[in-house]
Structure 1
Amino acid sequence: MCRAALLATAALVVPACYSFSGGGGLPRSIKTVAIQPFDNQTASPELQREVFEELRKVLRDRLNLREAPEARADLVVRGVIAKYDVDLPAGASADGRQTTTNRRRLQLALDVEIIEQATGRELLKKSGMQREGQYAEGSEKTGRRNALESLMNDIVEGVQSQW
């Protein structure tokens, strides 16, 4: 009887000692990041700012990293906005009772490199990461946001897979 009580107590106490640490699955030594503005090889100048802001947000919120100057950062992120094609046809719907609705799509491609400064180790190096975003005609920003979110998910998953 005493043994059963001891086992039951241990079963309750041991899980209570387990805890998660911050950092989104990264080692505790990685706390800061420097994000260099991506080289924009497209005709859309606003993309550089949007990619930068989205990276800042996702690395802060999902990986719990703080921004730091490159000289003091644990990680450095750099890359290239390699492709941005818009207004690609995705489909049309024509119903005699309704007006014609066109769906459009866009393609966004990035080259990304994330380096751990202390060791020089590449945590992520991907060229030609490409995603599509669909949108209703005249709503390009919605399609761009969808494509960017998908790319950011790939970047976070790529970094986390290294640990």
Structure 2
Amino acid sequence: MFAVGGLAMCAVTGCYGFSGGGGLPRTLKTVAIQPFDNQTAAPELQRELFEQLRNVMRDRLNLREAPEARADLVVRGTIVTYDVDLPLGASADGRNTASNRRRLQLAIDIEIVESATSRVLLTKKGLAREGQYAEGGEASGRKNALESLMTDIVEGVQSQW
């Protein structure tokens, strides 16, 4: 009886803990993110993708940035597709105003490798996501597509353990 009560008390008071790394082994602490090759006509996309990857590796996987020579993981890839202004639909309300919804598609190739063993933790070719936006709001659609890609990347890396 005491053991059960002690265990419950420990859980309530926070005696348990999570080891850092967002579900990754403790040996994986650092990451080097190489700028992705950009095969699209949108030069800003390379920087935005790089920043999103930096944030997600730090905030969701608890990895610190390091030079490639000292990093536990290396991320590299290519931005292969960025199609914008794809029609999604139009709607009108009773005041005779119309709003057009648009969508964009973003696709990347990505590889994440464990440096010490050269083990490929994640490799995805043509990983594509869409973002929807109101006419003239391409940046918000791009942000949504990037966030969706980041979720897929995190889940893909964590699924290895």
Query: Normalising to structure 2: TM-score of the pair?
Result: 0.93
In 1, Cα distance between the equivalents of 2:137 and 2:51?
A: 20
User: Which amino acid in structure 2 is aligned with residue 116 of structure 1?
Assistant: E
Query: Which residue of the partner structure matches residue 91 of structure 1?
Result: 89
Query: Which residue of the partner structure matches residue 155 of structure 1?
Result: 153
What stretches of structure 1 move > 4 A for 4+ residues in a row?
Answer: 13-17
In 2, Cα distance between the equivalents of 1:106 and 1:119?
A: 37
**Larger mean Cα displacement after TM superposition, 91-100 or 67-76:** 91-100
Residue 70 of structure 1: which of 68, 79, 87 is its match? 68
In 1, Cα distance between the equivalents of 2:53 and 2:4?
A: 46
- Per-residue deviation at 1:17? 5.0
Residue 134 of structure 2: which of 133, 136, 144 is its match? 136
- Per-residue deviation at 1:137? 0.2
Counterpart secondary structure, 2:46: helix
Counterpart secondary structure, 2:70: coil
- Per-residue deviation at 1:12? 3.8
Query: Which residue of the partner structure matches residue 50 of structure 1?
Result: 48
Query: Which residue of the partner structure matches residue 34 of structure 1?
Result: 32
- Per-residue deviation at 1:18? 3.4
Question: What's the Cα RMSD here?
Answer: 1.5
Query: Which residue of the partner structure matches residue 144 of structure 2?
Result: 146
- Per-residue deviation at 1:55? 0.2
In the TM superposition, 1:78-117 aligns within 5 A as 78-95=76-93, 97-117=95-115
Task: Decide which structure has the larger Cα Rg and report it.
Answer: 1
